[in-house]
Structure 1
Amino acid sequence: MTTALSRPRAARPWTDVQLLHALDEVVEVELNRHLKAAKEWMPHEYVPWSAARDFDGVMGGQAWSPEQSQVSDVSRIALVVNLLTEDNLPSYHHEIATVFGRDGAWGTWVHRWTAEEGRHAIAMRDYLLATRAVDPVELERFRMTHMSEGFEADNSHSALHSIAYVAFQELATRVSHRNTGHHSGDPACDRMLARIATDENLHMVFYRNLLAAALSIAPDQAMRAVADVVTGFRMPGHGIPGFERSAARMAIGGIYNLRIHHDDVLQPVLRHLRILEVSGLTGDGLRAQEEIGLFMNGLSDQAVKFEERREAMLARRRKD
């Protein structure tokens, strides 16, 4: 019996409709695996409610000030960036629902993913407000600005680009959460973000496995999508007010930088998929594979230079 995954590669490029149909069986398998692996958890259990007290305003409580937070400065910045990124969930849902559809296993996955990501935002916001880790007024104003602008994927060329992007983006988010928790100085924060990162890792595995299947049925197109995503990758929160400044401080603080991006995000996915070992490529697929190899070498060199500058900067700060 010939299945969608075993039939000969089409002479013409796969359309999105053809590809999504061909991946139906894989999506169902991966959805069932995800549902078995995912553990139910409650956001309220990860929030230290005993630390909460009324803010100023209609409740007549105490105004926020920076010294009230136990969280380190760099983790406070990262928490705001991470939460504001999660806040744009309606736009993300629209993007993936438009690309993947709302029917069958694809639709079930889209809604399940959205529900799980929403839980992350609930936990982070409740933690931030209960512990007074951030200015609540500034946070709300940032949220309004960011969500009002919406979100449009950089790599919206095709369904393959979307699958490739989220395979890397979910891992990047997991790494950012874990490092934020490690640098926070607050065990409650570290525990909460570790729980969220576990979900993000499962999301990454779902998309990574889909990408592996896509490479087997449309290798040239999938390789091009991977090359475009890897060489032009940006986090979905790049539209957050002050993102560039925040990203720079997160890079220096060891939350997310070029070395982490190269070693802990791009390399693991590329290595697992054995991207540089894929055979049977032709034309643009071969060119894309070569682009990936050259880019990764160049990124590694950039990471070395960044580390040298970072160490010099930190050494000067220690002297001061």
Structure 2
Amino acid sequence: MTIAPSQSAGSEAWSDTRLLYALEEVVETEINRHIKAAKEWMPHEYVPWSQGRDFDGVMGGEAWAPEQSKVTEIGRISLVVNLLTEDNLPSYHHEIATLFGRDGAWGTWVHRWTAEEGRHAIVMRDYLLTTRAVDPVELERLRMHHMSEGFESDNAHSMLHSVAYVAFQELATRISHRNTGRESGDAMCERMLARIATDENLHMVFYRNLLAAALQLAPDQTMQAIRDVVVGFRMPGHGMPGFERSAARIAIGGIYNLRIHHDDVLQPVLRHLKVLETSGLSPEGLKAQEELGFFMGELDSQARKFEERRDALLARRAARA
């Protein structure tokens, strides 16, 4: 669907209510496309149940030990971060339901998205516990701590900020899952995370297409929202205990780092939407576009420096080994 631009320079800013109403037909179209593209799958089919056995505690089983799992150390770290992120679904649902509403096409999408995301946490936890990939006691304590803190979006300025954020975040999550699977050392884990990543890609396409429609409808406001989100982007799990340390190890391990963030997350979405080529902007929109272009250049430089430091670190580790 093509929407003719209707925000001219100097025009009054669109309110969230007006934007929600104007974009509802786009949301309905995208839901129909999503449902046709999505394939039903069952979490239990991706868990090797025959590997399971009782843990210690009330069942009197065997206590967990790191050597019981075939998953690599970096795979284990990333799996815990990814699962704890998925676990905070109640907070995410509250955020988008508050912004998008629970009625009409918007409400239909909010509930559909929540149901699909819930499957991800189910299958990941079942896999991790059945294969003894992680310490179940530590995992539960981290879950309780993280969910007790809740989640508040960095980008809750407007619904446009939220749409822009999830367009990038869903792609970032897909990349993280796929790379975690490849680095896990377990073919079953990789297959499970590839299935989850397929869902995340469909979610990204939904929000990316919605963002494209918003860019046509309210180009200046949308450009400013994209600028704000890209410049201040943080993954939703940033509030979990030990996140900075885990993120550093994940970065060095090649699962998710500045280079991946720049090349595989930000650039594809910006390029698809032709954000830096958008014309007809007001002075405010043009300023946001220029700042976005400058930031992307700076981020590329930071990513290059990170790669140099990482390569030097890995070389020193290899020499010691």
**What is the TM-score with the length of structure 1 in the denominator?**
0.98
What is the aligned partner in structure 2 of residue 75 from structure 1? Answer: 75
* Displacement over 6 Å in runs of 4+: none
What is the aligned partner in structure 2 of residue 211 from structure 1? Answer: 211
What is the aligned partner in structure 1 of residue 221 from structure 2? Answer: 221
Q: How does 1:154-303 map to 2 (within 5 A)?
A: 154-303=154-303
CA–CA separation in structure 2 for the residues paired with 1:8 and 1:40: 39
Counterpart of 2:100, as a letter, is F
Q: How does 1:35-50 map to 2 (within 5 A)?
A: 35-50=35-50
Instruction: Indicate if the aligned counterparts of 1:4 and 1:22 stay in contact, CA closer than 8 A.
Output: no
What is the aligned partner in structure 2 of residue 95 from structure 1? Answer: 95
List per-residue Cα deviations over 1:62-103 (Å, max 9, x = no partner).
000111111010110000000000000000000000000000
Instruction: Indicate if the aligned counterparts of 2:7 and 2:220 stay in contact, CA closer than 8 A.
Output: no
The secondary structure found in structure 2 opposite 1:311 is helix
Instruction: Indicate if the aligned counterparts of 1:55 and 1:62 stay in contact, CA closer than 8 A.
Output: yes
Q: Identity percentage over the alignment?
A: 77
Instruction: Indicate if the aligned counterparts of 1:5 and 1:22 stay in contact, CA closer than 8 A.
Output: no
Instruction: Indicate if the aligned counterparts of 2:91 and 2:150 stay in contact, CA closer than 8 A.
Output: yes
**Displacement of 1:283:** 1.7
CA–CA separation in structure 1 for the residues paired with 2:29 and 2:230: 26
Instruction: Indicate if the aligned counterparts of 1:84 and 1:237 stay in contact, CA closer than 8 A.
Output: yes
**Displacement of 1:7:** 7.1
Counterpart of 1:277, as a letter, is E
What is the aligned partner in structure 2 of residue 22 from structure 1? Answer: 22
Instruction: Indicate if the aligned counterparts of 1:223 and 1:289 stay in contact, CA closer than 8 A.
Output: yes
List per-residue Cα deviations over 1:262-301 (Å, max 9, x = no partner).
0000000000001110001012110110011000000000
**Displacement of 1:109:** 0.3
What is the aligned partner in structure 1 of residue 136 from structure 2? Answer: 136
**2:12 maps to 1:12:** yes
CA–CA separation in structure 2 for the residues paired with 1:168 and 1:4: 22
CA–CA separation in structure 2 for the residues paired with 1:277 and 1:25: 26
Instruction: Indicate if the aligned counterparts of 2:163 and 2:207 stay in contact, CA closer than 8 A.
Output: yes
The secondary structure found in structure 2 opposite 1:23 is helix
**Displacement of 1:4:** 10
**Displacement of 1:5:** 3.6
The secondary structure found in structure 1 opposite 2:29 is helix
What is the aligned partner in structure 2 of residue 153 from structure 1? Answer: 153
Q: How many residues align?
A: 318
Instruction: Indicate if the aligned counterparts of 2:128 and 2:134 stay in contact, CA closer than 8 A.
Output: yes
**What is the TM-score with the length of structure 2 in the denominator?**
0.98
Instruction: Indicate if the aligned counterparts of 1:4 and 1:23 stay in contact, CA closer than 8 A.
Output: no
CA–CA separation in structure 2 for the residues paired with 1:72 and 1:265: 25
Question: What residue ranges of structure 1 are gaps of 5+ in the alignment?
Answer: none
CA–CA separation in structure 2 for the residues paired with 1:253 and 1:138: 22
CA–CA separation in structure 2 for the residues paired with 1:4 and 1:80: 41
CA–CA separation in structure 2 for the residues paired with 1:146 and 1:7: 42
CA–CA separation in structure 2 for the residues paired with 1:100 and 1:291: 28
What is the aligned partner in structure 2 of residue 104 from structure 1? Answer: 104
**2:124 maps to 1:124:** yes
Counterpart of 1:138, as a letter, is E
List per-residue Cα deviations over 1:87-127 (Å, max 9, x = no partner).
00000000000000000110000000000000000000000
CA–CA separation in structure 2 for the residues paired with 1:215 and 1:69: 47
List per-residue Cα deviations over 1:126-184 (Å, max 9, x = no partner).
00000000000000000000000000000100000000000000000000000000000
Counterpart of 1:279, as a letter, is S
Counterpart of 2:317, as a letter, is R
CA–CA separation in structure 2 for the residues paired with 1:19 and 1:285: 17
CA–CA separation in structure 1 for the residues paired with 2:38 and 2:146: 30
Instruction: Indicate if the aligned counterparts of 1:54 and 1:62 stay in contact, CA closer than 8 A.
Output: yes
CA–CA separation in structure 2 for the residues paired with 1:61 and 1:74: 27
Instruction: Indicate if the aligned counterparts of 2:6 and 2:218 stay in contact, CA closer than 8 A.
Output: no
Counterpart of 2:144, as a letter, is M
CA–CA separation in structure 2 for the residues paired with 1:89 and 1:195: 18
**Displacement of 1:319:** 1.0
